[in-house]
Amino acid sequence: FTIEERLNANAWDVDIHRPHIKIKDPDKCRTCEKKPCTYMCPAKCYVQQGDYIVLSTEACVECGTCRVVCPHGAIEWNYPRSGMGIWYRFT
Ligand code: SF4
């Protein structure tokens, strides 16, 4: 199996009304020089649009990388509510 095939085996129960990750201060992202979240997130949840970052948490694999690599502490990160988020399925 390829990594993509293994990831495609997973399922998500997305908590659409309560995202588990938030950008606390978008202005910090705007002035962030390297914007590491845009290339470190394996699920491509962070996309640069102009100077700003757009975050979509639907495909998040809950790896925690973004909370570690953000140089400005601009990300508020919590696990999804119980039973929500990714359901890993091993093939
Ligand atoms: Fe991306 Fe991992 Fe952060 Fe989820 S926890 S948004 S997959 S870097």
- All domains of the chain in start order, with CATH: 3-78 (3.30.70.20)
Report the distance separating Cα 88 and Cα 86, nearest Å: 6
Q: For atom 1 of ligand 1, which residue has the closest CA?
A: 41
* Residue 46, number of CB atoms within 10 A of its CB: 23
Per the model's pLDDT, the better-predicted residue between 35 and 2 turns out to be: 35
pLDDT tens, 38-67?
Answer: 999 999 999 999 989 999 999 999 999 999
Q: For atom 4 of ligand 1, which residue has the closest CA?
A: 60
Q: For atom 2 of ligand 1, which residue has the closest CA?
A: 63
CA of residue 61 to ligand 1 center, whole Å: 6
Residue 61's pLDDT is what? 95
Residue 60's pLDDT is what? 96
Residue 5's pLDDT is what? 86
